[in-house]
Amino acid sequence: MNWDRTQPQDPRQREQARSRSAQPTQPPVAVPGYEPERFLGQGAYGQVWVAVEHATGRRVAIKFYTRRSGLDWSLLAREVEKLAYLFSDRYIVQLVGVGQEADPPYYIMEYLEQGSLEERIQQHGPLPVEEAVRIAREIATGLLHAHSKGVLHCDLKPANVLLDQDRRPRLCDFGQARLVHEQTPALGTLFYMAPEQADFDAVPDARWDVYALGAILYCMLTGEPPHRTEENVSRLEAASDTRQRLRAYRELIRSQPLPSVHRMVPGVDRHLAEIIQRCLEPDPEKRFPTVQAVLEAFQQRQRRLQRRPLLVLGVLGPLLLLAVVGVFVYRGFSTTLGQSAQALTRRALQSDRFAAWYVAEAVAGQVLQRWEALQEEARHPELVQLLKELALLEVGSPQWNAAQARLQRWLHQARSRHANLDSTSWFVNAASGVQLGRVPLDRNVLGRNFAYRDYFHGQGRDFPPGTTGQGIITHPHLSVVFVSRATGNQMVAFSVPVRDPRRPEGPPVGILAMTVELGRFTEVQRDQGDMKLVTALVDTKPDSRPDGSQGRPGSLLEHPYLAQLQRQKKQAGSRSPLPQIYLPEEVTRRAVRLVQGQLSGTEAERLAVLVDYQDPVPDKRFAGRWLAALEPVVVSAPWGRESTGWVVLVQEKRAEALDPLVQVRAGLVRLGLWGLWSVVLVLCGVWAGAWVLRHQGRASRWWYQVRKHLGMTVTTQGPGSRRGLPTPRGPAGKQSSTAVAQEE
């Protein structure tokens, strides 16, 4: 259905109007003195044609009431009556003539070639804000003239607003209009009609036109009337008759929140949005009581907008002067602060580098301690004898099982002898790569071949499972990060070859290794409870994926965040692996270059410090900007210096490192803010004094009460006195003519 049509009161007529299938080619009746030119449109009660007057050649619009019933005559008489009241009003489309005796009856009105406001919106979309406000104000002025003559439009919508040659609005179609003393209900158009109007028992009210005015302004700004959505239209179409549709419309408008799309239109200020919102209040008591009140609101908004440049200039001028002075003051101490910040940053980075070197030495010592412990045990004659014995026995035989049990006992004793070294497991693999023993015992991995692991062949990466023939390590080795098939956790392994003391230069007979799970290399995590300095351990070698493919370098081996997760896992008894976290790519590239070495002192120093480090862990405690230092972990072993591929990263909160400077800056900022606040207070005082002088004698009700309580002289007469203040009264208690004139 066409939601832009006025809701007729006669269902039979509505069905007749809907059943028309083609536009007419000739008007229903010839109008003497006029030549029909073209069909203009069709409404709920008749047709509108454009015709040319023979005598003058001017174009007019002729509205024919084509519904054959007694209601047609009353509709024509009613509309003509309202137009007669508004004769010569330039805001109203003028009545030219009436054919009340014709069949069908008609009346002639002036024709405006610019078309209707509805056509303007449909063709060009929403209007610019100021143009929409201008049109709305002129519509309100036309309504005010009509209301002052006792005529309520009751069917205001964009289709009933025509535009003249200057694009100024003219009100038309007073078919639903009522005089203020009439009690007959009048139905408007859905989504432009006030909710209380949508009732056959409603009494005409000026606030109906106020609601419609707000809906038109809303439509001009957004392109659609308020509340009209596909869901709401379907809800109204589901009604079986007009009465149910009107009831559904009332409930819809009153139950939904006030429209707010207009607030998002660029150029719609707060005051304009509030005018529209108050016009569209479902409760008529909260709506503007009259069109005059709407016009006054527009005028107040206009005055506010006009005062803005003066206010901006009055405030901006002193502020610009203050800004110029502030620039010189700021430049006076900003250089000093910048130099101080650089000095503090250098000192903090030097401290961080020393801390990183100290931790790297400690980690290197712990790595060497693990290798030495493994080497000590690898030289044990019993281990060598067991490896030889197991190599000659069939896997799973009673003799093999007995030898393997002795190996398990030996591994348990070896691990106990070095209980001070935190580890996840100790294990022994034969020269073929088959795992022969493991503590803690896990029979799922016993007998499996792990020759593809880096800790076995020492080539810096894990190969796909099942790969053999890669050789065996010949000296202590630190593996890449890998996922344990026994526990599913990510870890690294320290491994050493096991040699026959009688053939020390011969090939190893196996390997002895220990694993450390990520988050458990506790030497790195000491004394980090206060979080002033955070220490992390990073592996610059690419880690290995479960499928044997090479992963990414820069994985975090140790971090307070990982240590916390490890403790939580232990408390919860969880076996889920820790997440793998990597350094940012730029930091990883720096760390790799530091590990590779062969750098000049200046370049190494540049790569080793970070002034804007972002910690990659997903914990808000580590968010923000950090100062950081990198230091490679190099083991000074008896067989020579050997790089582990690890890097210690020590990070310090940038804000805490620069805290002394922050305190100085905060003091200066406070001083500046106090100065600025003092200037603002002075400006406010000057503006308040100027406002009092400018509004002397016509202050607001609030200012009147303030002056009265302060004992100041209260002026209630004279130029500019405002409505709402006490005014002199004549002898009979009425307002004097002078006071009334002043209020007007």
Can you tell me the distance from the alpha carbon of 732 to that of 520, in angstroms, rounded to the nearest whole number? 99
> Phi/psi zone of residue 269: left (φ > 0), alpha (ψ -120 to 50 degrees), beta?
beta
Do residues 191 and 112 touch, judged by C-beta distance below 8 A? no
| Structure token digits, residue 213 | 């005015």
Can you tell me the distance from the alpha carbon of 471 to that of 476, in angstroms, rounded to the nearest whole number? 14
Closest to 423 in 3D by CA, of 465, 376, 374, 375: 374
Do residues 542 and 562 touch, judged by C-beta distance below 8 A? no
Can you tell me the distance from the alpha carbon of 12 to that of 16, in angstroms, rounded to the nearest whole number? 6
Closest to 187 in 3D by CA, of 207, 208, 172, 170: 208
Three-state DSSP state, 605: helix
Three-state DSSP state, 158: helix
Can you tell me the distance from the alpha carbon of 574 to that of 725, in angstroms, rounded to the nearest whole number? 78
Query: Is there a catalytic annotation at residue 612?
Result: no
| Structure token digits, residue 533 | 């300095």
Do residues 156 and 213 touch, judged by C-beta distance below 8 A? yes
R_g of the chain, CA atoms, integer Å: 46
Chain centroid to CA 484: 43
Catalytic residue among 4, 10, 103, 155: 155
Max distance between CA atoms of the chain, in angstroms, equals 136
Can you tell me the distance from the alpha carbon of 38 to that of 51, in angstroms, rounded to the nearest whole number? 7
Three-state DSSP state, 351: helix
Closest to 147 in 3D by CA, of 213, 191, 97, 101: 213
CB atoms closer than 10 angstroms to residue 418:
17
Chain centroid to CA 132: 30
Sheet holding 609-613, edge to edge: 555-558, 533-539, 640-653, 626-637, 609-613
Can you tell me the distance from the alpha carbon of 333 to that of 158, in angstroms, rounded to the nearest whole number? 63
41 membership: H or E segment, kind and range: strand 34-42
Can you tell me the distance from the alpha carbon of 4 to that of 86, in angstroms, rounded to the nearest whole number? 25
**Torsions phi, psi for 652 (to 5 deg):** -135, 135
Name residue, tokens 């992390």. Answer: 536
Catalytic residues: 155
